[in-house]
Structures are given as C-alpha cells and as structure tokens.
C-alpha cells in the first residue's frame, strides 16, 4: 500500500506534440521536457502548479535572483532534481504509515472521526447538507465515487490550498476561501514553475530555506507533527511556522482511506490497483491567523488592517484588476500588492495566469481563470501606473454612466430601486463593456510601457488618452443602442430612451474632458 | 438593375432627385397630380409619378418594389416648399408648429404607426410638412421612409427628441 508522490508518475504532463503522460515530479525537466500540466480539471491544474512551485521552493530554491534567471533557460538535469527531492521523500507518502502527505498525523478512533464520501474532497461537489435537503442543482451528487491515488492526491492538495469555509470548524485555507492564484507563465513547464520560485536570499524578496529535518518535520510540513487544533478558535501565526509552510498549509484534518480498486477512477478514467472511496475527517484543524501572506497570491493592504487576499471572482478577467495583479498599486489608498512570485518575475514581460474559485461561503459559484499580459516597462513605473489607473478609472466611470442610463431607459420610475430583479441584463452589460474595450486597453498599455520617460513622450501620452476616450464613448453608445434601443420599444418609452442616451453621452464627454481624454471645448 | 440603397451612394442619384424637385415649380400639372394622391399607393400608380421622378431615374433601373418605396417620399416632397438638410424628424423638432407638448403628442402618433403601414405614414408625414410651414428634408425623407419598423422608429426618435426647440 505504498504510494509516494515523489516516486510515482502521478502528474499529468502535456508535451509539445499534444500527448499527455503521467510523470514524476523530477521529470518536469529532461530532453523532451513537458510544456505544461494537463489534468482533467482546471482547479487541479492551478493546484498542481502550486504544488510543484512549492516543492521546488522547499527543496531546490536558487541562491539569488541571478541564479534563478540563469537556470530559466538551462534547467537542471532530472538527476539533480531527484537528489534534491530525496531528503523530502518521507513527507510525501500518500498512503501507508503516517506521516502521510497533507493528512492528519494523530487522528484515531478515539477522536470519533466522521466518515465522508470521496466526493467531499472536491470544492464544487454538493456537501452533506445540500444532499440532505435535495438542493444539488447544477453539480449533481453521485458522479464521483472512486478516485485513483493520483486524483485523490490532487483533490486533497486542491482542497487544502484553496479550502473554502465549510461550516463549523471547517477551516479555510491560509489565504481565505477561494483565493486567487497568480502564476507567471513561460514556454515550458519548467519555466512556468521556475519563474515563480523565489530566491533563498531574503533581502532580495526571497524565502528563507529550511535547515534540517527537524525544521521540516515540525514547522514546514504540517502533517509531520500533531495538528495544532483550533477547538477554541486558536490561531496559527506566521511566527509559529516556517515561511515555507505557506505552500503546505493544512486547514482541514483529513485521513484518506485507501482500498483495493473495483473499477476505473471517476475523474481521470484510468485504472489503478488502489482507490480512495472514503476519507476520515475532524473539524478544527489549523486555523490560520490573518497575517499570512502567500507568495503566489496578490493582497490588498490597508494601514492598520491585516492583509486581505484577492479572491477568485466572476469578473477577474476584467482589466480593472490587471494593474494591481501584475504591477501592484502602491499609490492607491488601499495598496494592492502583486503576488511575490509576480513581483520576482520582474519587468520581463510575459503572461500571468490567474485562477481561483468564486465562492459564496461554502458554495462554489464557478471556477474562474484568465491570462493577463505583462509588459516590460521602459519608462518609470509610477508614471505608467498613474496613466493606466487613469484609463481604468475613466472606463469605470463610463461603465457606471452606461448602467445608470440603461436603468433610466429600461426601468420604470417606481421600479428603479428594485432594478436588481433583472440583474443579469446589467451584469451582461458590464461584462460586454469590459470585454469590448479590452483590446484597446492592452494595446494602449503596451504602448505606454514602451514609452521612455515622461517628458519625452508627452504628445504620445496625450494621443493615447484621446484614443482611449474615443473608444469608451463609442463602445458605451453602441452598447446602449444594442441593449436599450433594441427593437420592440413602445413609442411612449422612446423619449425616455433617447433622453437617457443623450444624458449619458453628455456625462461621458464631460467626465472624459476632465481626464484629458476628450478634446477641450472650442474657446 | 440597381437597388435603391446602392443608388443612395451615387451622387448622380441625388442630383437627379433635386433637379426633379426644383422642376416641379415649372411643371404645375405634375405637382398637382402628386398632391392629389391620398396615399403612397396612389402616388405610386399616378401618371405624375411615372412620367416625372421615375423617368428621371430611369438609368438606375430601380425595380418596382423600390419605386413603390420611393413613391412615399415623392408624394410628401411634392407638398414641400422649402428644403432643409438632415433628418426630417429633426426638421419637425425644430420647425413644427404648436406648443412643444402638442408636438410631442403628434410625434408619438407618428411613432405609433404600425409596421409597414405606409399609406398611414404617408398621411401623417404630409400633415407634418404642413405643420413645418412647408419645410421638409429631401434626403431625409427619401432615406428614412424606405422601411417602417422598430429600427426606423428608434432612428426617428433619436433625431427628434434631442433636437426639440423649447418654444
């Protein structure tokens, strides 16, 4: 009943020719290296990427940024990785004797653990209560009963790193429920992982390496020591653990039950001699304090308040989130900090994958995923940030004017306060507005990034601002026509419609003028 | 054969229409013939239309359905004494007689004309020209009376409401 995650080929890797093969962690490099991961589920992909970044960070961290950058294009050999991981093997057993990977060390019969179906390892699956009340609506119960060891490990890690609020004593991940994971992407799997690994040099924005087995077993890998339970809401703070513990947080007390398999895995469809159909659990696991800052997640910082992780949400792909996620927003009243990994990837330009669950407490609304571009900055960062923030602020104001005008045009006077009843229309208008202005936004941002210092490029900046204003005006008008003035308005409502449109245009022009995004009035 | 909307892109088409309209001053018989018509249909079948505008536009080889559509504007324009630029709804908004409130009521009646009721639309627009003291817009009437549906109504509304005069 042995299954060690450093020995078994359990990671679904995607290769350049399109085939998927299951590899061992040290096979992320090689003569024909994989280009990415290709698991059956998108949440697995984000979690497994984090797993590998965490493993490299813990067992193979580069000394400094220069060493990191050097190895981007000349990865180590498989043997070097295997040796580096060797010292950590004892912490990566999925089954068998404890300690077991991401599982409680001491839970036993006396704790009266609860026996759960394997499906409860998945964030989006209907929970106990939903099943009892017969409320599983979109994701139906009973589809996932048997897991192969690889999928069980993936599900277990996904649950522990993204774990949502789950009811009394079911703790959230150290980043809160449904955190956003932001990872820089490269051309190969190795690059996509390595770009996100911080140097060991703390002064360079690095993460202190762990020294010796004792530290690993007590303060990095939470499962090698008795769980710090939280029956009375006791919290675990960063100073109680090693900084590397961020990658190995274990808010849920879980012990998997392995058994001989009867059939294929319900997630990946592969056969394995072992299967997980049930697991044991207890509430009140690690209860992480609010001071934790995860290196792969952006945070909002406000003076005098604990950092607040950015969460997965439906409009995560809107570019209003872009500046903060990619560059951070140090000038705003509430500082938004890009994830450490994004910050360390530096001003190279490239792509940044963002992903996370949009949670409503314990209910997963959706899995959200998007790729943001990132541009190398030629000029100074503060100027760039200010210009982009201005663009976003203008867009946001125009968007609000659009929604207001739509309400004026479509909702009866008496019903304006209850306009939420038809929210999907406004929500769609929102998304369409962000979507249709997106191409110009990134185009403008790329041009701004390529401009030298402020004074040398005044006229280019002016021109870009005017371009932006034109696009915002045109798209808001077009959307208004499509949504409010679409066919079938009774004649008595047309005046309201036309008036709302006219007012919106005037507001927009006035506002854009104020931001130098529309030509000034002729004197 | 050319479709009417293609002809709109041809300067020659507009020159021909204008010269036809100015020619009505000399050809009182034709004007009277057009003015007697009480509906688009009557314009369409009248000798005055056939021997006048239709003949002027012969080289564009418009088909019968397009000529029928064009008859509406021809009949309304025969009532006009002055030409203005732009959409006819904007002309009416600026020059229509009566109080602003009454004008709004009349305009809403126009918007209430049902889809494809071109004879009704014709009668309404003839009255509008009267209320504008004989002012009308040539291009506006020709372009915007081709089809009468929700899209057209919205276009007329977009031109009318923002251009209303206060008095």
pLDDT tens figures, B12-67: 999 999 999 999 989 989 999 999 999 999 999 999 999 999 999 998 989 999 99
Q: Of B130, B6, B148, B13, nearest to B72 (Cα)?
A: B148
Identify the pLDDT of residue A166: 77
State whether A492 and B108 contact (CB < 8 Å).
yes
Is the predicted pLDDT of residue A419 greater than 80, yes or no?
no
Q: Is the ipTM of this complex over 0.90?
A: no
Same domain for B87 and B62, yes or no, is no
Identify the pLDDT of residue A417: 57
Which residues of chain A does CATH 1.10.132.100 include?
379-523
Lay out the sheet containing A299-301: strands in order across. Answer: A308-309, A299-301, A335-337
Taking one residue from A and the other from B, the number of pairs with CB-CB distance under 8 angstroms is 37
| Long-range contacts formed by A409-418: CB under 8 A, 24+ apart | A409/A480, A409/A484, A409/A485, A409/A493, A409/A496, A409/A497, A409/A500, A409/A501, A410/A483, A410/A484
Range(s) of the domain holding residue B46: 4-81
Same domain for B141 and B157, yes or no, is yes
Q: Of A227, A126, A99, nearest to A171 (Cα)?
A: A227
User: Is the separation of the CB atoms in B129 and B57 below 8 Å?
Assistant: no
User: Is the separation of the CB atoms in A65 and A204 below 8 Å?
Assistant: yes
Same domain for B36 and B94, yes or no, is no
Task: Return the biggest CA–CA distance within chain A.
Answer: 85
What are the tens digits of pLDDT across the range B97-111? 988 899 999 999 999
Same domain for B158 and B87, yes or no, is yes
Instruction: Please tell me the distance from the alpha carbon of residue B4 to that of residue A170, in angstroms, as a whole number.
Output: 71
Q: Of A60, A310, A320, nearest to A199 (Cα)?
A: A60
Q: Does any CB of chain A come closer than 8 Å to the CB of residue B120?
A: no
Instruction: Please tell me the distance from the alpha carbon of residue A136 to that of residue A417, in angstroms, as a whole number.
Output: 31
Identify the pLDDT of residue A491: 85
User: Is the separation of the CB atoms in A339 and A309 below 8 Å?
Assistant: no
State whether B161 and A502 contact (CB < 8 Å).
yes
Same domain for B74 and B146, yes or no, is no
State whether A501 and B153 contact (CB < 8 Å).
no
Instruction: Please tell me the distance from the alpha carbon of residue B40 to that of residue B37, in angstroms, as a whole number.
Output: 8
Minimal CA separation from A498 to chain B, in Å = 6
Q: How confident is the model at residue A523 (pLDDT cuts 50, 70, 90)?
A: low
Q: Does any CB of chain B come closer than 8 Å to the CB of residue A111?
A: no
Is the predicted pLDDT of residue A421 greater than 50, yes or no?
no
- Strands B135-137 and B82-84, how do they pair? parallel
- Report CA Rg, chain A: 26
Same domain for B56 and B36, yes or no, is yes
Find out whether the peptide bond into B81 is cis, omega within 30 degrees of 0: no
Q: Of A250, A340, A235, nearest to A288 (Cα)?
A: A235
What are the tens digits of pLDDT across the range A356-368? 999 987 788 899 9
- Chain A CB contacts of B112 under 8 Å are 491
Pick the CATH number of A379-523 from 3.40.50.300, 1.10.132.100, 1.20.1300.10, 2.30.30.40: 1.10.132.100
Count CB neighbours of A234 within 10 A: 12
State whether B158 and A501 contact (CB < 8 Å).
yes
Instruction: Please tell me the distance from the alpha carbon of residue A160 to that of residue A169, in angstroms, as a whole number.
Output: 14
- Chain A CB contacts of B150 under 8 Å are 487-489
**Mean pLDDT within B71-88:** 94
Minimal CA separation from A522 to chain B, in Å = 21
User: Is the separation of the CB atoms in A368 and A358 below 8 Å?
Assistant: yes
State whether A494 and B112 contact (CB < 8 Å).
no
Same domain for B11 and B69, yes or no, is yes
């Amino acid at each position: 009943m042995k299954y060690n995650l450093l020995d078994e080929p359990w990671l679904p890797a995607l290769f350049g020719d399109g085939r998927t093969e299951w590899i061992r962690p040290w096979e992320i490099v090689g003569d024909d290296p994989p280009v990415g991961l290709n698991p059956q589920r998108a949440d697995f992909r984000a979690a497994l990427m984090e797993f590998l970044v965490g493993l490299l960070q813990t067992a193979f961290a580069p000394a400094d940024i220069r060493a990191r950058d050097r190895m981007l294009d000349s990865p180590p050999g498989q043997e070097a990785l295997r040796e580096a991981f060797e010292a950590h093997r004892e912490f990566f057993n999925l089954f068998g004797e404890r300690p077991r990977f991401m599982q409680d060390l001491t839970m036993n019969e006396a704790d009266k653990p609860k026996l759960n179906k394997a499906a409860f390892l998945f964030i989006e699956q209907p929970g106990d209560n939903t099943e009892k009340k017969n409320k599983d609506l979109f994701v139906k119960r009973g589809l996932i009963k048997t897991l192969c060891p690889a999928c069980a490990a993936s599900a277990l890690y996904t649950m522990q790193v993204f774990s949502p609020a789950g009811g009394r004593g079911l703790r959230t991940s150290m980043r809160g429920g449904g955190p956003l994971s932001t990872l820089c992407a490269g051309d190969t799997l190795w690059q996509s992982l390595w770009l996100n690994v911080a140097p060991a040099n703390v002064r360079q924005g690095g993460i202190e390496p762990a020294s010796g087995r004792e530290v690993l077993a007590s303060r990095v890998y939470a499962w090698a020591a008795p769980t710090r339970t939280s029956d009375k809401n006791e919290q675990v703070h960063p100073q109680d653990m090693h900084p590397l513990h961020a990658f190995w947080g274990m808010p849920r007390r879980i012990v998997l039950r392995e058994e001989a398999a009867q059939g294929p895995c319900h997630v990946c469809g592969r056969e394995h001699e072992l299967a997980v159909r049930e697991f044991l659990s207890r509430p009140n696991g690690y209860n992480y304090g609010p001071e934790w800052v995860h290196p792969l997640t952006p945070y909002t910082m406000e003076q005098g308040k604990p950092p607040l992780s950015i969460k997965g949400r439906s409009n995560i792909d809107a570019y209003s989130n872009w500046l903060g996620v990619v560059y951070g927003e140090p000038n705003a009243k509430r500082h938004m900090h890009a994830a450490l990994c994004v910050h360390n990837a530096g001003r190279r330009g490239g792509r940044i994958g963002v992903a996370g669950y949009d949670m409503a407490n314990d209910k997963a609304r959706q899995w959200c995923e998007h790729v943001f571009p990132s541009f190398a900055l030629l000029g100074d960062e503060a100027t760039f940030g200010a210009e982009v923030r201005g663009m976003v602020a203008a867009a946001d104001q125009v968007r609000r004017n659009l929604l207001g005008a739509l309400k004026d045009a479509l909702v009866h006077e008496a019903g304006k306060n209850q306009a939420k009843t038809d929210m999907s229309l406004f929500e769609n208008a929102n998304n369409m507005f962000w979507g249709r202005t997106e191409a110009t936004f990134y185009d403008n941002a790329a041009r701004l990034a390529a401009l030298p210092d402020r004074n040398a490029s005044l006229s280019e900046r002016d021109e870009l601002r005017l371009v932006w204003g034109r696009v915002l005006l045109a798209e808001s008008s077009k959307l208004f026509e499509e949504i409010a003035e679409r066919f079938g308005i009774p004649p008595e409502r047309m005046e309201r419609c036309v008036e709302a449109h006219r007012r919106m245009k005037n507001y927009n022009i006035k506002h854009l003028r104020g931001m130098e995004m529309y030509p000034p009035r002729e004197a | 054969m050319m479709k009417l909307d293609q002809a709109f892109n041809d300067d020659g088409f507009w020159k021909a229409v204008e010269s036809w309209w100015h020619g009505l001053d000399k050809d009182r018989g034709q004007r009277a013939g057009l003015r007697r018509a009480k509906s688009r249909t009557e314009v369409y079948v009248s000798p005055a239309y056939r021997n006048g505008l239709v003949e002027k536009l012969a080289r564009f080889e418009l088909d019968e359905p397009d000529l029928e559509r064009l008859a509406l504007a021809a009949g309304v324009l025969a009532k006009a004494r002055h030409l203005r630029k732009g959409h006819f709804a904007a002309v009416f908004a600026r020059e229509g007689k009566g109080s602003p409130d009454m004008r709004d009521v009349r305009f809403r009646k126009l918007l209430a004309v049902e889809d494809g009721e071109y004879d009704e639309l014709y009668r309404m627009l003839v009255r509008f020209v009267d209320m504008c003291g004989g002012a009308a817009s040539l291009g506006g009437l020709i372009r915007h009376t081709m089809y009468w549906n929700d899209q057209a109504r919205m276009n007329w509304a977009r031109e009318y409401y923002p251009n209303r005069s206060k008095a």
